[in-house]
């Protein structure tokens, strides 16, 4: 498990060298963590381990609720996705984020930034990831769809 975490953080560090985004990753210390929350910075990536008895989901919700800026939240957890929307942050699926980071860190197929953002945002909608019964102009993107496209273009 620790080896996989280190590999993921290394990938994020490579991505941080290319893009200067602030990156925070939260790992679960719910079952076997320390008594207090542990924060470290490695290669410019902020790493948070939740304390014993606290889930990473709770830490993520606390962070995005406390700092009312527009976060790009990477998670497949429906509860976190709903919470992110409620505090004006934009949720992105883990798979899409990993594709973008891998591509930009030199571990994937080379594409331009615009092609990547357009292709990935359309994939989300085609697969029904954020689908719902719509009303209004079918040719105009919803507010959530526009926000997702904007977030993907930043990555």
Rounded to a whole number of angstroms, the distance between the first and last alpha carbons of the chain is 27
Among candidate residues 31, 37, 29, 15, the one with its CA nearest the CA of residue 99: 15
One digit per residue, pLDDT tens: the chain, 155 residues? 778 888 989 999 999 998 888 999 999 875 676 778 889 999 999 999 998 888 999 999 999 999 878 899 999 999 999 999 999 999 999 999 988 888 887 654 444 444 444 444 444 444 444 445 556 677 788 888 888 888 888 87
Q: What is the β-pairing status of strands 72-74 and 23-27? A: unpaired
pLDDT at 109: 42
Using alpha carbons only, give the angle 150, 86, 144 rounded to the nearest 5 degrees: 30
* Predicted local confidence at residue 136, as pLDDT: 67
pTM: 0.70
pLDDT of 132? 54
d(CA 66, CA 83): 12
pLDDT attached to residue 70: 86
Under 8 Å between Cβ of 145 and 130: yes
């Amino acid at each position: 498990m620790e080896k996989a975490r280190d590999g993921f953080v290394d990938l994020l560090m490579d991505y941080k060298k290319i893009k200067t985004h602030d990156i925070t990753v939260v790992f679960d210390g719910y079952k076997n963590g320390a008594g207090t929350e542990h924060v470290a910075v490695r290669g410019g990536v902020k790493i948070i381990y939740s304390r014993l008895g606290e889930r990473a989901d709770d830490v993520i919700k606390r962070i995005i609720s406390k700092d009312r800026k527009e976060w790009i939240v990477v998670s497949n957890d429906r509860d976190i996705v709903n919470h992110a929307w409620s505090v004006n942050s934009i949720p992105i699926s883990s798979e899409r984020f990993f594709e973008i980071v891998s591509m930009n860190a030199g571990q994937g197929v080379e594409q331009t930034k615009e092609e990547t953002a357009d292709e990935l945002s359309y994939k989300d909608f085609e697969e029904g990831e954020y689908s719902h019964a719509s009303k209004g102009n079918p040719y105009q993107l919803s507010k959530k769809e526009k926000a997702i496209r904007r977030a993907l273009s930043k990555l």
